[in-house]
Structure formats: C-alpha cells, structure tokens
Amino acid sequence: MAELPTTARVVIIGGGAVGASALFHLAKAGWTDCLLLEKNELTAGSTWHAAGNVPTFSSSWSIMNLQRYSTELYRGLADAVEYPMNYHVTGALRLAHTKERMQEFERAASMGRYQGMDIDILTPSEAQARYPFMETHDLAGVLYDPNDGDIDPAQLTQALAKGARDMGQTIQRFTPATGVRREGDDWIVETEKGEIRCEYVVNAAGYYAQRVGEWFKPFGGRTVPMMVMSHQYLLSEEVPEIEAWTKEAGGKLPLLRDVDISYYLRQEKHGFNLGP
Ligand SMILES: Cc1cc2nc3c(=O)[nH]c(=O)nc-3n(C[C@H](O)[C@H](O)[C@H](O)COP(=O)(O)OP(=O)(O)OC[C@H]3O[C@@H](n4cnc5c(N)ncnc54)[C@H](O)[C@@H]3O)c2cc1C
C-alpha cells in the first residue's frame, strides 16, 4: 500500500458510498489532490448492508433533485469509469390507500415532471397490468416512477473509488483517523500511521459520524444530529410463479412500495426482498 501523504487539499474520513462519492465529485470539480481515509476496507460500514434501492421519489424538491442526479450518474458510471456494476432500472409502484396519500403523490409527480422525469399517476387496474400479482381492492391509486431501481452498493462504491483514483485521488484503507487539531488555517488529521495537513475535512464516517464530529467541538463544531438505527430486510426463497412470469416477460417486476403499511417489496432473482 502507498505511503500516507502528509498533505492533501481535502481529507475525507470514511470509505462508504458517501465518502467515495465525495472523493469522485471533488475530482470531477478539479480538486484532484484529496485523500480518503477508511479505517477498514471500502464499504465496510452501512454501505455493505444496503439493499441498494435507488428511488427518485421525495416530497422535498432538493432531495428529489439529488436522487434524480444519482440515477443519471449511475446509468453512465460503469462505462465512464470502466467498472461493471449491477444496476437494474425496474421502475416502482408506490401504493396509496387514501385520498390524502394520492394528493401527496400528485404533488410529487408534478415536481418530478418539472425536473424532467416521467412520473405517472395510475389507476389501480393500470398498476395491476404492470404487476399482475397485486391485489388492488383497498387502493385509491398508484404512483409509477419509471426511474426507480436497484444497484449493488459495494460495486457502486468501488466504481466511484476507481473513477476518483483514475483522476489522481488517493485512498488509504485500513487507516483510521484518530483525531483532528487546528494549526493556523490548516486542519491536521491524526492517524496511527502519521498526520495529514489539509484545508478541509469531510466527515463521511456513516454511523460513526457523531463520534468523529465530537473532535471538531473544541474548534466551534456542533453535535452531528443523528441517531443509529438497526434496519433489516428479509430474502424469500424462489417463488415458481415469479420465475415463470420473469421468463415470459423477460424482465423484473417493478419495486412495490407501501408507505401506509410501511414496506417495500423487490424482486430478487426469482424470489422477493421484503424491507419492513
Ligand atoms: C439493511 C439496510 C438496508 C438499506 N437499504 C438501503 C437502500 O435500499 N437504499 C439506500 O439508499 N440506502 C439503504 N440503506 C442505507 C445505506 O446503507 C446508508 O445510508 C449508506 O450506506 C451510508 O453510507 P455512508 O458512506 O454514509 O456510511 P458507511 O457506509 O457506514 O461508511 C462510513 C465508513 O466510515 C468508516 N469510518 C468510521 N469511522 C472512521 C474513522 N475514524 N476513520 C476512518 N474511517 C472511518 C467506516 O468504517 C465506514 O466504512 C440501508 C442500510 C441498511 C443497514
């Protein structure tokens, strides 16, 4: 492994999807002398466990815009950085059980249209045509997002890391940051392998972000507002009906999301991934 640099413009702490994306985007903006520190292997944190659903739906304009950008980035990333990835754009059906939920969907659909996305509102029977296994008796309507899909989060992170490295960025794995201090206008990032002087530090430490954030408190930093939650999904065995449908249709079922009952259901090979 290369020696730890002693200076960098930016030091990013954390090599999950967020840290790797920050490193990649800094390089694209021309900041190619940045360093990412990962205490373990890249993707060792939450990124390793993510189901990898890639929605564009949001009730917030800016989050929707960020997610729209991500879907556009992911579509071209494998070719751009020459790192193959599993990215399935399956579309998603978001179920509404009430009139009020439909109003929320209509608002989101119009925001999406303004951002150039073809988000549609469907009747329950139109939705059933896209998802024949669905019962529709208690539905008020459905939002269809053709851009929704799923990506392999570890492959995505490695692709971003490769793109960043190819543009000159440095990644140091198995190098935990242990603290920071200020010297003049510079930050000094401390590690067990030495210190790095830099202009900026990015805290991308995932569920450790609050702990890393504490280091900045003596220099005017604030508590990083977050809490850690455990989250899980269940993978089913293969379902013969899904296998038969997939062979006939030649593709995957769209993702189902039901925020009223609170789950997503995704086709995973010929079975399901249920995320409560
Ligand atoms: C079961 C599950 C399902 C999920 N499903 C989805 C989904 O479908 N879609 C979706 O978008 N999101 C999903 N998520 C959420 C997603 O995984 C996280 O939002 C995302 O991975 C966070 O990325 P991150 O880079 O911020 O954090 P992490 O991946 O946790 O990366 C932080 C990194 O920082 C490193 N680190 C910490 N402290 C230090 C230090 N002092 N020095 C150096 N390195 C340090 C850690 O080792 C870690 O690798 C899911 C999460 C779980 C658990």
Contact 66 CB / ligand 1 (< 6 Å): no
Is the minimum distance from the CB of 112 to ligand 1 under 6 angstroms?
no
Position 228 confidence tier, pLDDT thresholds 50, 70, 90: confident
| pLDDT, tens only, 20-50 | 999 999 999 999 999 999 999 999 999 999 9
Is the CB of 23 inside a 6 Å radius of any atom of ligand 1?
no
Cα gap 235→271, rounded to integer Å: 7
Q: What is the pLDDT of residue 231?
A: 87
Q: Which atom of ligand 1 is nearest to the CA of 150?
A: 8
167 pLDDT more than 90: yes
Q: What is the mean pLDDT of residues 111-130?
A: 96
pLDDT digits (tens, 9 = 90+) for 144-163: 999 999 999 999 999 999 99
Mean pLDDT score of the chain: 96
18 lines ligand 1 (CB under 6 A): yes
Q: Which domains are assigned to the chain? A: 7-49+154-219 (3.50.50.60), 53-151+232-275 (3.30.9.10)
Is residue 1 predicted with pLDDT exceeding 70?
Answer: no
Please report the pLDDT score of residue 229 as a whole number.
86
